[in-house]
Amino acid sequence: SATLCAMDVSEVAQVWWTDVSTFKKENLRLEDARVKRLVQRLLLQNDEAYVGLVAHSILFKRLLQIFWPSDPATQGEVRAALRNGAPEDTMDPLNDKVMNCGTLVLTFRYKRGGAEIIGAEFLFNGHMESALSSDQKESIEEECDVDEAPEEFEKTVRGMSTELELL
């Protein structure tokens, strides 16, 4: 508590984020440009075939939407892979989110004009959020509890990565 008293926490109380309800189309275009730059940087500035990325499921949702394959057959394959055995009448994975602590491997094809997803695979029995029953969601949230011992928490963080495979 002596350390806490020595810290200046006044900035923590200030709102630093933009309220989502105030977003305009130009804000969304800027966000999409940031996602595209991120993927470009991950794919082009790494010599490795696999690149790990840990981020919020909302980012991955937008990443899927922006880099969705143009070929209808590939769309079907990616959609089926994202469902990971869930019935076809579940929410379209393109509009869903990756489950909490989900690990998803995305395979990208990068061409000079851009990139697109050509493959997807969940690891460790991962799913899209709507493909899980409420009991399964609660169980996963308990498994990903941040109050775990440090060595367990490190395992959880590693399990939350998403890999981008460069072809």
Element (DSSP H or E) covering residue 52: strand 50-53
Alpha-carbon span 43 to 89, nearest angstrom: 33
Alpha-carbon span 82 to 92, nearest angstrom: 9
Q: Which of 13-22, 59-68, 134-143 tops mean pLDDT?
A: 59-68
* Tokens coding 58: 């909302």
Domain boundaries, the chain: 9-166
At 61-120, the pLDDT tens digits run 999 999 999 999 999 999 999 998 888 888 999 899 888 888 888 888 887 778 899 999
Higher pLDDT, 147 or 74: 74
